[in-house]
């Protein structure tokens, strides 16, 4: 897979307004999809047993922005030939799931609670959540990098 940061940056600079609009429109729903069930966005639907820590909110915003950028790369802007639309898909999906696990309440996660119990979730899972957050952001950034770099590498010019 091509993952040139220079090619990705060049592709990002060439984005049309339609892609920027898609990324801007996708960011608030991404914040809600991640923030409401984890109770970082207060609603009467969900609550947390353990209050959020300081890094949960920047993680929420960064995950939403990176997810929106990855999503915006799927917006077509012209003829596409030879481009694999699955590039970075599994990385982006894994990053989104890990983002959810990273910012969620440690004792509200049923799987962790079943495996470790409440004290284990607080003793073992909670200290691991920042590392999971870094991994999640890394996967989302890698997915965006690969999608953007591949886009720059596979540009199709219209026939004359």
Instruction: Summarize pLDDT for 42-75 with one digit per residue, the tens.
Output: 999 988 889 999 999 999 999 999 999 999 988 8
pLDDT at 89: 66
CB 103 within 8 A of CB 36: no
pTM of the model: 0.84
CB 144 within 8 A of CB 70: yes
Regions in the chain scoring below 70 on pLDDT = 1-2, 78-89, 152-160
CB 143 within 8 A of CB 116: no
The Cα-based distances of 108 to 60, 89, 123, 129, 149 in angstroms read 17, 28, 14, 13, 38
DSSP assignment letter at 107: T
Q: Percentages helix, strand, coil for the chain, rounded to the nearest 5?
A: 65, 0, 35
pLDDT at 78: 66
Q: Is 41 exposed, middle or buried (0-12, 13-18, 19+ CB in 10 A)?
A: middle
The Cα-based distances of 23 to 62, 69, 75, 96, 102 in angstroms read 13, 5, 10, 16, 23
């Amino acid at each position: 897979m091509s993952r040139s940061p220079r090619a990705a940056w060049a592709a990002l600079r060439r984005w049309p307004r339609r892609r920027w609009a898609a990324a801007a429109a996708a960011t608030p729903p991404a914040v809600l999809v991640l923030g409401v069930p984890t109770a970082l966005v207060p609603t009467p639907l969900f609550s947390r047993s353990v209050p959020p820590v300081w890094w949960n909110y920047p993680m929420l915003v960064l995950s939403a922005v990176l997810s929106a950028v990855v999503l915006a790369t799927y917006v077509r802007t012209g003829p596409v030939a030879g481009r694999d639309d699955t590039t970075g898909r599994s990385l982006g999906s894994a990053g989104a799931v890990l983002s959810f696990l990273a910012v969620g309440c440690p004792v509200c996660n049923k799987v962790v609670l079943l495996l470790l119990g409440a004290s284990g979730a607080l003793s073992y899972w909670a200290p691991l959540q920042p590392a999971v957050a870094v991994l999640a952001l890394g996967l989302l950034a890698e997915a965006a990098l690969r999608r953007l770099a591949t886009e720059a590498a596979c540009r199709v010019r219209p026939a004359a």
